[in-house]
Chain A
Amino acid sequence: MTSKEVLVGQSAPSAHLVVRGVEKRFGGVHALRGADFEVSRGEVMALVGDNGAGKSTLMKILAGAYTFDSGNFYLNGKNVSIKSPNDAAALGIQIVYQDLALCENLDVAANLSLGSEPVKSGWSFLPKFIRPIDSLEMEAKAKKAIEQLQVRTLQSVRAKVGGLSGGQRQAIAIARAVGTQSTVVMLDEPTAALGVAQTKQVLEVVKRLRDTNHAVVYISHNMRDIFEVSDRITVLRHGDNVATYKTSDTSPDEIVIAMTSGLDDRSSSGSSSAT
């Protein structure tokens, strides 16, 4: 883990979110082996790697959904600890999970504010968790978030999520992450279930997030999308990062080779020794 960081054309002097040496084991599976990662504000960082490379695991750790075994996190240059989803949310880190993580029995509006429902004012004599929810405010917020994403097929924010199509659900998961106050937005394969038109819309959302000075992490297996939206690309392989490329200086072929066999000059000694 010494000089493997091959930063081709380092652009940002100090990244907004930096993680160093993240380790994560699931029983016998060594999912992350000291991975490094960073993303700056106003940039889209693509995260690529083969199935099982550890992309989702890394994102879930950053979102507080998984605990990590070791590693350091820096936000805005300050050392922070992310131990729970609440920590991540408080730090302004939002995520669209690969499996969406929606509650099918609740309606769209409830899903969008789940865990941070707006409550009516004037009930402060009660603890927060049993104050009345301001359901109208919640619906209005949901409507705004959905309209921003321009999901035209969604008829009502009071529809139960269980009755929606895969693409609509994906849009809701994205709206949930984008709608809140956040500085870092991570999207784990957000276009996997989408048609051409909706994929385009998601890419527009990603670009808009960059333009509004968010730090965006974008995971995808689709090279075309990645080269369309990203500024830099981090390649992950067997739980370790191979390299970070500037998108304008590389090509899909180079990325695919890095994903499948690591860097040319170290492919033989790279990560095959661990097993």
Chain B
Amino acid sequence: MIVLVRGRQVQREENLKIVDRLRALRETQIGAFIPVLLALVAIWGYFGLVIPLQDLLTGETENFRAIFLSPRNIYNLFMQSAVIATLAVGITIVLLLGEIDLSAAATAGVCAALLGVLVLTGIPSILACLIVILVGIAMGLVQGLLVAYVGIPSFVVTLAGLLGYQGLMQKILPTGNLNVGDPFIRGIARTLIPDLWGILIALAVFGLFAFFSFRKQYQRRSRNLEVDGFWVIWVQILVFGFIVISVVLTLNAYRSLPLLLVLLLGSTMLLDWVTRSTPYGRSLFAVGGNAESARRVGIKVNQIRVSAFAIVGLMAAIGGIFGASRYGSVSYTAFAGGSLLLEAIGAAVIGGTSLFGGRGSVWNAILGALVIGSLGNGLDLSGASAADKLMVSGAILILAVAIDALSRSSSGRT
């Protein structure tokens, strides 16, 4: 038993090569967040500190660019990234299976357009939201059935879906644009949680996190199972607490915690729990890791596949509602025809979810979306051209996939 407890530490010290260390790191729970967190810190550091410093040194006081880390910009950054993040969370689920969904943004577009039209016809807005969510699930479900039971590769099915749903969106919105003024729908993005409540929520989440961490540790010890290092638990709790509380304080400094973010983070928390702590989630990982093994232990592989695409449809519909709420309008270019799809897939992958299936988490998608959002926002602020934005995003994406590929190959390459 002593060997069991100490084995991990010993192993950690023996691995000296950087790539090996990276691999070992990514195996751990918080380790999977480290690359994307570092990327985020680097980007924020560059736009928030390096550029203002440059301006200061060159005496450029005219348009001093120190606004990136201002509460106002952080608030906007979070709101800008919210739709990308919602889609990326959904896409993560199919990535876990080793599949891809290219139609998520188009699905979101159809749902948003439908929402706008339904609200115009006078249907109660809550009902309209529910209808749109069901439609989104159905759109994902159809694609999932084609992938699982007809056996068409998901790339092809969802590429066809992308085209078809783009066309469908144009059918629903012949003018390509529709204003959404409904107070309920606009309220999702406009409603702010009062400052005090925001802080209370943050403290409650932090407290629960700490409580569950310690309780798990205590239960492990009392059942004589191996325990994590003392400092690992503390670092985990403190980092988590720091992030949660500083985010809320920053948002409070400008406006307040928006309801939209609470909804996004709440649904992400729920999906994270489902994927990591339930038999269903376990089978997602199993199918992504080795579908034949999963089948042989009695997992209904096809049903799992279909359900994963349905979840993407669900998240796409929610993303569509969020988008309509935030922009106050539905336009073809904001969803189906624009860069939303690539940003969402990029966010999931940059977050650290493997394209090869079997590894990843929905929280990584949130962080990945922040990376993408920060890049766009920061480059905009520093006056970079659209061309620069595209090229930098491409480079970051390649970097993320390279990290994925390197940490994946566990065969002893030298």
- List chain A positions with a Cβ less than 8 A from chain B: 63-65, 84-86, 89, 97, 101-106, 110, 114-117, 119, 128-133, 135-136, 139-140, 143, 155-158, 160, 162-163
Question: B58: shortest Cβ distance to chain A, in Å?
Answer: 50
Central interface residue in A65, A102, A129, A133, by most chain B CB within 10 Å: A129
Assess whether B339 is interfacial by the CB under 8 Å rule: no
Is B286 a contact partner of A101 (Cβ separation < 8 A)?
no
Partner of A65, one of B4, B273, B279, B296: B296
- Point out the residues of chain A lying under 8 angstroms from B171, CB to CB: none
Residue in B4, B220, B295, B296 whose CB lies within 8 Å of A156: B4
A114 partner residues in chain B, CB cutoff 8 A: 282, 286, 293-294, 297, 299
**B286, A103: Cβ atoms closer than 8 Å:** yes
Binary contact readout B389-414 vs A (1 if CB under 8 angstroms, 0 otherwise): 00000000000000000000010000
Q: Which residue of A lies closest to B8 (CB)?
A: A156
**Quick check: is B35 within 8 A (CB to CB) of the other chain?**
no
Knowing A65-B296, A86-B298, A119-B279, the reply to whether A104 touches B7 (Cβ < 8 A) is no
Q: From the candidates A97, A131, A133, A143, name the one contacting B4 in the complex (CB within 8 A).
A: A143
Chain A residue with the shortest CB-CB distance to B292? A101
Q: In the complex, which residue of chain A has the Cβ closest to the Cβ of B288? A: A105
CB contact list, B273-332 vs A, under 8 A: 273-274, 277-280, 282-283, 285-286, 288-290, 292-299
B374 to chain A, nearest CB (A): 29
Closest to A139 in B: B225
B289: which of A85, A103, A143 is its contact (CB, 8 Å)?
Answer: A103
| Chain B interface helix/strand/loop/mixed | helix
A–B pairs, 12, beta carbons within 8 Å: A63-B296, A64-B298, A103-B285, A103-B358, A110-B282, A115-B294, A116-B298, A129-B280, A136-B223, A136-B225, A143-B4, A158-B8
Compute how far the CA of A129 lies from the CA of B307 in the bound complex, rounded to whole angstroms.
12
Any chain A CB within 8 A of the CB of B3?
yes
Q: With A86-B298, A117-B279, A131-B279 known to touch, is A103 a contact of B225 (CB < 8 Å)?
A: no
Q: Find the residue from B27, B223, B226, B293 having the highest chain A CB count within 10 A.
A: B293
Q: Is the CB of A136 within 8 A of B220?
A: yes
In the complex, how many residues of chain B place their beta carbon closer than 8 angstroms to a beta carbon of chain A? 38
- Chain B residues, CB < 8 A from A117: 279, 282
In the complex, which residue of chain A has the Cβ closest to the Cβ of B411? A162
Do B358 and A155 touch (CB < 8 A)?
Answer: no
Whole-angstrom distance between the Cβ of A153 and the nearest chain B Cβ: 10
Of all chain B residues, the one with the shortest Cβ separation from A97 is: B296
Residues of chain B contacted by A65 (CB below 8 angstroms):
295-296
Q: Cβ of B293 and Cβ of A103 under 8 Å apart?
A: yes
- Interface pair A115/B278, CB less than 8 Å apart: no
User: In the bound complex, what is the Cα–Cα distance between A48 and B166 (angstroms)?
Assistant: 59
Is there an interface contact between A155 and B279, defined as CB atoms closer than 8 Å?
Answer: no
Docked-complex contact B282 and A89, CB < 8 angstroms: no
A117–B285 CA distance with the chains assembled, in angstroms = 14
B186 within 8 Å of A (CB atoms): no
Q: How many A-B residue pairs have CB under 8 A?
A: 107
Task: Decide yes or no: A155 and B297 within 8 Å by CB, A103-B290, A104-B289, A128-B279 being known contacts.
Answer: no
Within the complex, what minimum Cβ distance (angstroms) separates B56 from chain A?
48
User: Is A101 in contact with B285, judged by CB distance below 8 angstroms?
Assistant: no
- Taking the closest CB of chain A, its distance from the CB of B278, in whole angstroms, is 5
Quote the shortest CB–CB distance from B93 to chain A (angstroms): 14
Rounded to whole angstroms, the CA-CA distance of A106 and B275 in the bound complex is 13
B219 at the interface (CB under 8 A from A): yes
Q: Does B11 contact A (CB under 8 A)?
A: yes
Q: From A130, which residue of chain B is reached at the shortest CB distance?
A: B278
Q: Which residues of B contact A (CB under 8 A)?
A: 3-4, 7-8, 10-11, 27, 216, 219-220, 223, 225-226, 273-274, 277-280, 282-283, 285-286, 288-290, 292-299, 357-359, 410
CA distance A119 to B8 in the complex (A): 27
Among residues of B, the one whose C-beta sits closest to the C-beta of A109 is B225
**Is A162 a contact partner of B410 (Cβ separation < 8 A)?**
yes
A274 and B380 alpha carbons, distance in the complex (Å): 75
Say whether A133 contacts B277, CB under 8 Å. Answer: yes
Query: In the complex, what's the smallest C-beta–C-beta distance from B269 to chain A, in angstroms?
Result: 14
B359 interface neighbour in A64, A101, A105, A163, Cβ under 8 Å: A105
| C-alpha gap A104/B358 in the complex (Å) | 9
A155 in contact with B3 given A106-B289, A133-B279 (CB within 8 Å): yes
A115 touches B299 (CB 8 A): yes
Chain B residues, Cβ within 8 Å of A132: 273, 277-278
Nearest-Cβ distance from residue B182 to partner chain A, whole angstroms: 33
Rounded to whole angstroms, the CA-CA distance of A116 and B283 in the bound complex is: 10
| Nearest Cβ on chain A to B2's Cβ, whole angstroms | 11
Chain B neighbourhood of A84, CB < 8 A: 298
CA distance A157 to B410 in the complex (A): 18
CB-based contact A85/B297 at 8 Å: yes
A130 in contact with B274 (CB, 8 Å): yes
Residue from the list B223, B289, B293 in contact with A140, Cβ < 8 A: B223
Chain A residues with Cβ below 8 Å from B226 are: 156-158
Contact check, B286 vs A155: say whether CB atoms are below 8 A apart.
Answer: no
CB distance A105 to B358 under 8 Å?
yes
Given contacts A133-B278, A143-B225, 14 further A-B contacts (CB under 8 A): A65-B295, A97-B296, A101-B292, A101-B296, A103-B289, A103-B293, A114-B282, A119-B279, A135-B277, A136-B223, A139-B225, A140-B225, A163-B27, A163-B410
Nearest to B96 among chain A residues (CB) is A105
Interchain CB contact (< 8 A) of B11 among A97, A115, A139, A155: A155
| B7: A residues at CB distance < 8 A | 155-156
Which of A63, A102, A158 sits near B290, CB closer than 8 Å?
A102
B289 contacts across to A, CB distance below 8 A = 103-106
Chain A residues with CB below 8 A from B27, complex form:
160, 163
Q: Do B225 and A155 touch across chains, with their CB atoms under 8 A apart?
A: no
